[in-house]
Amino acid sequence: MTLTNHMLTGAIIGATVSSYWIAAPAALLSHIVLDVMPHYGFEGARERLRKTFTSFWFVMVFDAAFVALLLSLLAFTGRVELIVFAVIAASPDFIWIHMFRTGRFEDKPYRNLVLKFLKNIQQFESPKAIVVDIVYGIAAAYVLYSVV
């Protein structure tokens, strides 16, 4: 899923679950649930990503813009805890930053167990699944709007 969808889900959990002690792990687990669903991404080695580099960065720039908009709107509500839960839900993706920075995607076996787990649950990742991300994002934005 896109970072926006993970953050929307975390904010919804933060807005609907009354206990922070339950909401925090639920937001973290929501990341895993969303990554099991079909979603936008690139299955395959670095060479395949190079071929689709432009579309990948196009989606990433739009995702970054939506993340900035979401964080701004959440800050505007005055409910800072929603930002915290949004970041918690997105946090497992932060492990990929090093992979993108260094350009080391799938050309070496994953030694880190967390990284291996996060990669293995994403069996339905494909560029065509952007439709699922868009539909989910619109629905999640509506739910968040309704509960905040």
For the stretch 4-41, pLDDT in tens is 999 999 999 999 999 999 999 999 999 999 999 988 87
Q: Say what the pTM is.
A: 0.84
Shortest CA distance to 42 belongs to which of 54, 31, 56? 56
CA dihedral 65→68→74→75, nearest 10 degrees, is: -150
